Amino acid sequence: MRKHLPLIGIVLLSLLVACPLVSAGNGEVNLYSARKEKLIKPLLDRFTQQTGIQVNLVTGKADALLQRLQSEGRNSPADLLITTDAGRLHRALQAGVIQPVQSELLSSIIPHAFRDPQGHWYGLSLRARPILYVKGKVEPHELSSYEALADPQWQGRICIRSSNNIYNQSLVASMIAANGEETTQVWAEGLVKNLARPPKGGDRDQIKGAAAGVCDLAVANTYYLAGMLKSKDAGQRAAAEKLAVFWPNQSGRGAHVNVSGAAVTAAAKNRDNAVKLIEFLAGKAAQQWYAEANGEFPVRGDVEADELLRSWGDFKMDTLSLSKLGELNPDALRLMDRAGWK
């Protein structure tokens, strides 16, 4: 990702700066974030300027932060958790480390599918997981749905990361919700037969593998592709430019999407300030700046996506309540294991 803000990011941040300030001295909020500091710190600083609430930021890997919250228990200093994937947010709920909050503002601007029904967590940005294909090797008319990836025509032609990846677990959970466990089991077995290589690496590695001729299709989150296309590394840009985006299941439920989201911790000592920070991050200017900087889609329908993301065309999203992804995660894990998805 860029180290310096693009022009649109500067303009959006200036809009935030234009908001009236509130004098300091309104307390603090302690944030555990799986988001990298450079992608969220400018917004946190502006929140402090606007409200006088000091944000104490701790960043780390998503799973490590959840483990930390569990080990700290009621003594945790964290008031707010920002993490990736509805599956992880559900794990935090199951672990008892987050609490429900009610906010009329959040309930009115964040679609129901992208927040917990009881208010335990709220989505802040959307990440889509479409099919990427190598230009010249695959034509868009050959593609249709996630289900069709199990067809024999794709034998030895697909790259996807391992079954221990939460993004794939959530994708499979969405398919169980749509098609049932038995049908999804057959699909997963067919997909495994079509893999070009045993799963390894992250989403960027699947894109690089496709670009290098290892496979013709890759399944990856769009922000990885966006990051590579905007990279200062010529090699990453060249690899990403060989691939195009295909939005699957457009005649049915729509393409699979997930969220990065926020939740107030069960141990929160600054609960009200934590809610105020979530509401700020769900605001129009903050959402657009953050989504543009990170290559994700805004969770709000009234905020426009980044120009690069818009260039991939409009698409229909799966409107399944993302809380189901967490609920079905154990079933997805067992199913993937039975299918031999390493």
Q: Is residue 199's pLDDT more than 70?
A: yes
How many percent of the chain have pLDDT more than 90?
84
Confidence tier at 58 by pLDDT (50, 70, 90): very high
Do 238 and 162 lie in a common domain? yes
Mean pLDDT over residues 111-135, rounded? 96
Query: What is the CATH number for 36?
Result: 3.40.190.10
Range of the domain at 293: 7-126+258-307
In this predicted model, what pLDDT tens digit does every residue of 239-290 receive, in sequence order? 999 999 999 999 999 999 999 999 999 999 999 999 999 999 999 988 887 7
Q: What is the pLDDT of residue 6?
A: 46
Q: What is the pLDDT of residue 143?
A: 98
4: which 2 tokens?
């310096």
**pTM metric for this prediction:** 0.88
Do 302 and 324 lie in a common domain? no
The whole-chain average pLDDT of the chain stands at 91
Do 118 and 135 lie in a common domain? no
Do 228 and 268 lie in a common domain? no
Do 132 and 117 lie in a common domain? no
In this predicted model, what pLDDT tens digit does every residue of 62-108 receive, in sequence order? 999 999 999 999 999 999 999 989 999 999 999 999 999 999 999 99
DSSP 6-29: -HHHHHHHHHHHTSPP--S-S-EE
Q: Is residue 170's pLDDT more than 80?
A: yes
Closest by CA to 97, choosing from 266, 249, 256, is 266
Do 329 and 192 lie in a common domain? yes
Measured CA to CA, the distance from residue 22 to residue 278 in angstroms comes to 18
Q: What is the pLDDT of residue 16?
A: 42
Q: Are 331 and 182 in contact (CB under 8 A)?
A: no
Torsion of CA 169, 294, 319, 117, to 10 degrees: 80
β-bridge mates for residue 244, sequence order: 133
